[in-house]
Amino acid sequence: MSRKLGWLTANHWAIIDRETVRTPDQAGRASWQVLVVLLTCTIVLTLQEYVGGSDQYARLFPYDRSQYWELKGFVWWSGWRVLGYVIIPILVILAMPGERLRDYNLTFKGGKHLLLYLVMFLLFLPVVMIASQSPSFRHTYPFYRMANRSSFDLWAWQGLYAAQFIALEFFFRGFLLQGLRRALGANAIFVMVVPYCMIHYGKPMMETFGAILAGLLLGTLAMRTRSIWGGVLIHIGVATTMDVLALRGCPPMGSGKFCHG
């Protein structure tokens, strides 16, 4: 276990640097690939903020009293995450000379480290349970306030939520890290953490601070294992736990009353 926990130390950033393939003349020089990756990042995050949000959905599709109007809004939200975090980056990767999609941390080699991911989940669990006692947490989760209406609502929401987490992990721990790795080495992790933290603005403060630590840990593991899938499992596991804890404070399913208002 101590060897596995060693993955969480700065020694592994040095290992990542040693594993990064660069030619001697690349060090310290401007890189067109860094420009492309970071420009794609800024465009995608801007689209998410101004087009892919619930506010834009409400403007385009005013409330019509239909049973699933709010759920359709989350289809819009999740769909834009898949478009911005997966489809657009894939097109960019395919357009860059010499880049292969399979190199973007999509392998399943991280399976032997599942115990480490389980330990990380258990470390985050007490923090989540403490945070779940705060009013801001109970008024935020689940995002879909009608998740307690029926089993269909609950599972549809969880499916949409999981899809955007897969998309998010590919974007931050796949596209950004691998796209910046050749030029920045382990420093790509620190660059990735900045926008990753910022997408949590508007959520409870403890969760946003937690995203900094989570970004560092998951980024390090993704670069060492060359796999995003452990991070996907942790993200879905933590998010599901948060929703379950929040649902305990919601009216019972079928009551006709919904979560946080």
Q: What is the DSSP string of 114-181?
A: HHHHHHHHHHHHHHHHHHTTSHHHHTTSSSSTTTTS-HHHHHHHHHHHHHHHHHHHIIIIIIIHHHHH
- My answer on whether omega of the bond before 97 falls inside 30° of 0, hence cis, is no
Listed in sequence order, the residues at least 6 apart from 176 whose beta carbon sits closer than 8 Å to its beta carbon are 37, 41, 188, 191, 192, 195
pTM of the predicted model, to two decimals?
A: 0.85
Please tell me the predicted confidence (pLDDT) of residue 60: 94
3-state DSSP assignment of residue 38: helix
Q: Which of 84, 251, 247 is closest to 158 using CA atoms?
A: 247
What's the token pair of residue 83?
């478009």
Helix segments in the chain, DSSP class H: 2-5, 11-19, 32-50, 54-60, 69-82, 88-95, 114-131, 135-138, 151-169, 177-184, 187-198, 205-225, 229-247
Q: Which amino acid is at 81?
A: R
Please tell me the predicted confidence (pLDDT) of residue 205: 85
b/e code 67-76 from CB counts within 10 Å (16+ = b):
eeebbebbeb
Q: Residue ranges per domain, the chain?
A: 2-32+105-247
Please tell me the predicted confidence (pLDDT) of residue 119: 85
Listed in sequence order, the residues at least 6 apart from 25 whose beta carbon sits closer than 8 Å to its beta carbon are none
Q: Which of 160, 189, 178, 165 is closest to 227 using CA atoms?
A: 178
Please tell me the predicted confidence (pLDDT) of residue 3: 53
What's the token pair of residue 224?
């060492």
Per-residue pLDDT for the chain (261 aa), expressed as one digit of tens each? 445 445 555 676 667 766 676 654 555 555 899 999 999 999 999 999 999 998 899 999 999 888 999 999 999 999 999 999 999 999 999 999 999 999 999 988 756 677 888 888 888 888 888 888 888 788 888 999 999 999 999 999 999 999 999 999 999 999 999 999 989 999 999 999 999 999 999 887 888 898 999 899 999 989 988 999 999 999 999 999 999 998 888 888 767 788 875
User: At what angle are helices 88-95 and 32-50 packed, to 10 degrees?
Assistant: 160
C-alpha–C-alpha distance, residues 169 and 121, integer Å: 16
Q: What are phi and psi of 118, to 5 degrees?
A: -65, -40
Give the distance from CA 240 to its chain's centroid.
14
Please tell me the predicted confidence (pLDDT) of residue 260: 73
Please tell me the predicted confidence (pLDDT) of residue 2: 47
**Exposed (0-12), middle (13-18) or buried (19+): which is 183, by Cβ within 10 Å?**
buried
